């Protein structure tokens, strides 16, 4: 190459390098996306696009069953009156432990003849009346007070279990409505993508106008199903909100994370194996204990409360007489009343018989519930296995028919049928998962366990 041409090429290269450097300095560097940045526009979904299920976000709170139960329990009358009932039981126990059957009474009296002949007669008396315990009355009163104190705790636990039953039913109904809304929304998205694909192929002359009508009809059906699912979700959310008072997430379907379930309880085949662990059984046992202790107390109270009286007095007979001091000791013993005592004993015995009979009926009810829930649990697990298998096969079949439809090997009615079958299979699998979680909660309810923190 001649020398002049080489110099020209070198100069041209230097000029290009200088212009590129200047342009690079003027052009702003690309921004580095931070954790709070998001793309300004989402990519346009392609035909047959299926959104991947989003993962659970650590920034979005998950409403657990335990949180709902805690909030619902704080709203119950039994929870708000618990402290007062505990104080009343403690006060009854303290009264039974006192040394006197009733509070000591102070008696003050005076006599004078000022209103008559006014000879100067004066008499002043001050005394106390001490109620005495009957034989065995104090110990049996203490036994009744202790039984009532235990009954206060057991009645609170039973009220919590009854609240848990309402919370569990409302919570899993809400979860089922959430999943139904997610699936309906996903079906509408797929129907919209399919309608767009069909419309494009109709304009290209690959499909007939009737195919577009079928696709649009399927989209309209998906829109109606989504509206129905939204209504069911709103109703379930209102019920849960009324029960717990919690504010539900603005978008209840923003985090369709893996379903959180309660831990499965220990397998119990016989209700008698629960012993005194079930709150309903504990409550009836305590009621029967109170009735028995009350009957024993009624047997000890054969008459009214006797009293020991101690008094001192000062008196004079007339003006000029000196006052004389006196001391009085006495005992007041009421007569017994067989009819009143017999009525109290019979009433307490009747309450004990009712509590024991109701206990036997409650144990039979618990046994029947256990048998029913355990059969339901086994059936639900089988249904879940089959539903997940069906959903997997339906997803694979949908992928096959999507490709064949794009290649023109499958007609639109077959494509729509496969899509509906896939959505139905996914809905069945989702419902089976919720049903399994609800059945585990029902089993925990049957064995008398309160909601615990959910685990994946």
Residue 22 in this model has a pLDDT that exceeds 60: no
Can you give the C-alpha Rg of the chain in angstroms? 42
Do residues 191 and 415 make contact, with C-beta atoms less than 8 angstroms apart?
A: no
Do residues 377 and 443 make contact, with C-beta atoms less than 8 angstroms apart?
A: yes
Residue scoring higher pLDDT (184 or 56): 184
Q: What percent of the chain has pLDDT over 90?
A: 23
pLDDT, tens only, 85-106: 989 988 988 888 888 888 899 9
Residue 378 to residue 269: CA distance in whole angstroms: 13
The model scores a pTM over 0.95: no
Residue 23 in this model has a pLDDT that exceeds 80: no
First to last CA, the chain: 76
Q: Which residue, 102, 101, 121, 103, is CA-closest to 112?
A: 121
When pLDDT is averaged across residues 60-75 and rounded to a whole number, the result is 84
Give residue 126's pLDDT: 92
Q: How far is CA 225 from the centre of its chain?
A: 30
Q: Which residue, 210, 193, 232, 242, is CA-closest to 49?
A: 193
Pull the structure tokens for residue 392: 């997997």
Q: How far is CA 405 from the centre of its chain?
A: 49
pLDDT, tens only, 169-218: 999 999 889 888 988 888 898 888 888 888 888 888 777 888 888 888 88
Report the SS3 class of residue 240: helix
Give residue 253's pLDDT: 56
Give residue 47's pLDDT: 35
The full set of domains in the chain, from first to last, is: 60-104+136-304+345-446 (1.20.1600.10)
Q: Which residues of 131-155 are buried (b: 16+ CB within 10 A; e: fewer)?
A: bbbbeebbebbbbbbbbbbbbbbbb
When pLDDT is averaged across residues 366-385 and rounded to a whole number, the result is 89
Residue 35 in this model has a pLDDT that exceeds 90: no
Average pLDDT, the chain: 80
pLDDT, tens only, 397-408: 888 887 887 777
When pLDDT is averaged across residues 74-87 and rounded to a whole number, the result is 91
317: number of CA atoms within 13 Å, CB side?
Answer: 1
Which pairs count as long-range contacts for 422-426, CB under 8 Å and 24+ apart, including other chains? 422/391, 422/394, 422/395, 422/397, 422/398, 423/183, 423/186, 423/187, 423/190, 424/394, 425/387, 425/390, 425/391, 425/393, 425/394, 425/395, 426/183, 426/391, 426/394, 426/395
Residue 73 in this model has a pLDDT that exceeds 80: yes
Do residues 168 and 435 make contact, with C-beta atoms less than 8 angstroms apart?
A: no
Pull the structure tokens for residue 11: 């100069």
Residue 3 in this model has a pLDDT that exceeds 60: no
Give residue 160's pLDDT: 94
Q: How far is CA 209 from the centre of its chain?
A: 54
Give residue 264's pLDDT: 84
Give residue 250's pLDDT: 62
pLDDT, tens only, 434-456: 899 999 999 999 988 999 865 54
Best mean pLDDT range from 8-22, 184-198, 252-266: 184-198
Q: What percent of the chain has pLDDT over 70?
A: 82
Percent helix / strand / coil, the chain, rounded to 5: 65, 10, 30
Give residue 45's pLDDT: 36
Residue 343 in this model has a pLDDT that exceeds 60: yes
Give residue 30's pLDDT: 36
Give residue 60's pLDDT: 45
pLDDT, tens only, 290-327: 999 988 888 888 888 888 999 998 888 788 788 888 89
Q: How far is CA 284 from the centre of its chain?
A: 23
Residue 27 in this model has a pLDDT that exceeds 60: no
Give residue 165's pLDDT: 93
């Amino acid at each position: 190459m001649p020398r002049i041409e080489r110099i020209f090429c070198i100069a041209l290269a230097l000029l290009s390098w200088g212009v590129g450097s200047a342009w690079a300095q003027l052009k702003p560097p690309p921004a580095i996306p931070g954790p709070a940045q998001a793309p300004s526009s989402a990519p346009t979904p392609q035909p047959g696009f299926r959104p991947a299920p989003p993962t659970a976000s650590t920034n979005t709170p998950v409403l657990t069953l335990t949180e709902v139960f805690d909030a619902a329990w704080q709203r119950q009358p039994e929870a708000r009156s618990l402290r007062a009932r505990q104080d009343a039981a403690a006060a009854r126990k303290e009264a039974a432990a006192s040394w006197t059957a009733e509070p000591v009474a102070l008696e003050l009296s005076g006599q004078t003849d000022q209103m008559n002949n006014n000879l100067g007669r004066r008499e002043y008396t001050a005394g106390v009346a001490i109620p005495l315990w009957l034989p065995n009355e104090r110990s049996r009163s203490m036994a009744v007070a202790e039984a009532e104190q235990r009954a206060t705790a057991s009645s609170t636990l039973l009220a919590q279990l009854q609240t848990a039953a309402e919370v569990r039913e409302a919570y899993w109904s809400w979860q089922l409505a959430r999943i139904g809304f997610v699936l309906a929304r996903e079906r509408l998205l797929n129907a919209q993508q399919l309608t767009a694909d069909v419309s494009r192929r109709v304009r290209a002359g690959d499909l007939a106008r009737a195919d577009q009508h079928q696709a649009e009809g399927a989209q309209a059906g998906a829109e109606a199903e989504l509206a129905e699912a939204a209504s069911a979700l709103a109703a379930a959310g209102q019920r849960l909100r009324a029960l717990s008072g919690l504010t539900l997430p603005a978008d209840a379907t923003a985090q369709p994370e893996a379903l959180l379930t309660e831990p499965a309880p220990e397998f119990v085949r016989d209700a008698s194996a629960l012993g005194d662990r079930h709150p309903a059984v504990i409550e009836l046992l305590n009621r029967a204990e109170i009735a028995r202790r009350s009957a024993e107390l009624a047997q000890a109270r054969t008459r009214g409360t006797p009293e020991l009286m101690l008094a001192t007095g000062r008196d004079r007979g007339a003006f000029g007489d000196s006052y004389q001091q006196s001391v009085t000791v006495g005992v007041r013993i009421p007569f017994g009343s067989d009819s009143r005592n017999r009525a109290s004993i019979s009433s307490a015995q009747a309450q004990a018989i009712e509590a024991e009979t109701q206990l036997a009926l409650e144990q039979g009810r618990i046994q029947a519930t256990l048998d029913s829930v355990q059969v339901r649990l086994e059936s639900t697990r089988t249904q879940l296995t089959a539903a997940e298998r069906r959903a997997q096969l339906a997803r694979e079949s949908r992928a096959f028919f999507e490709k064949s439809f794009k290649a023109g090997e499958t007609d639109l009615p077959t494509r729509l049928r496969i899509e509906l079958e896939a959505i139905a299979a996914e809905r069945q699998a989702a419902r089976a998962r919720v049903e399994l979680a609800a059945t585990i909660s029902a089993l925990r309810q049957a064995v008398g366990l309160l909601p615990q923190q959910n685990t994946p």
